[in-house]
């Protein structure tokens, strides 16, 4: 809206020393932000080299009724996955790499920003429980979609904000939701989230999968805004 002032999202701090916990109530309006309260603010993935995720062998059967896919990127995929996986109706989440030019990329390539891939989360969900639109609206609350090629301290094209659409219907929904969020004044700057067709997907290494479930005090820069 022309001339309308943009208000900043209200962030509610949590108790000093509290653990990283994202209970279901943190997804309800008015519950504020949940973010890491202590420790270093640097990403430190394990040093050991572990192969590709075995999640591929236990994927949800997409021929089952009421299963759809959403693919989103919004910074470090650890935090994006940790919040989205807890939404009612989300059946499975897998972190990986997409939107690049290199075949079969590894984290060592992607983290340097040279492969063109984004760190992303592929979401399998039940549309009878949660809609694609609801997932997108939550996505625009749990990361800063106004930061170009970065998210908080993570800088590079691999941390870009993007929605990878799997159909024209998803594109129409994404375009509409982005425009509505942009016009709402919830963010002080224009949204830079790219809406692009889904391309080749590559699962990330196993140690990245469900990272914050396995490492509750691990690095996380994502939280839910009101």
| Number of neighbours of residue 170 by Cβ within 10 angstroms | 22
| Number of neighbours of residue 66 by Cβ within 10 angstroms | 11
Whether 76 is catalytic is: yes
- Give the integer Cα–Cα distance in Å for 122 and 85: 10
Q: Choosing from 33, 72, 76, 142, which is the catalytic residue?
A: 76
Q: Any residues with CB less than 8 A from the CB of 179 and at least 6 apart, and which? A: none
Q: Which residues are catalytic?
A: 76
């Amino acid at each position: 809206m022309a001339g309308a002032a943009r208000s900043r999202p209200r962030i509610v701090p949590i108790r000093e020393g509290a653990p990283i916990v994202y209970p279901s109530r943190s997804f309800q309006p008015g519950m504020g932000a949940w973010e890491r309260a202590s420790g270093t603010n640097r990403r430190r993935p394990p040093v050991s080299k572990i192969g590709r995720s075995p999640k591929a062998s236990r994927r949800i059967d997409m021929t089952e009724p009421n299963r759809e896919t959403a693919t989103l990127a919004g910074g470090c995929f650890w935090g994006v996955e940790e919040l989205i996986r807890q939404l009612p109706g989300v059946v499975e989440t897998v972190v990986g790499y997409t939107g690049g030019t290199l075949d079969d990329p590894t984290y060592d390539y992607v983290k340097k920003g040279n492969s063109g891939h984004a760190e992303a989360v592929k979401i399998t969900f039940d549309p009878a429980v949660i809609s694609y639109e609801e997932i997108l609206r939550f996505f625009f609350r749990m990361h800063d979609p106004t930061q170009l090629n970065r998210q908080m301290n993570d800088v590079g094209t691999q941390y870009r904000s993007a929605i990878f659409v799997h159909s024209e219907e998803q594109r129409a929904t994404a375009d509409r939701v982005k425009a509505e969020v942009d016009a709402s004044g919830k963010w002080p700057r224009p949204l830079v989230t790219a809406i692009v067709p889904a391309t080749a997907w590559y699962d990330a290494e196993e140690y990245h999968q469900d990272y914050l479930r396995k490492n509750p005090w691990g690095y996380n820069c994502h939280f839910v805004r009101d």
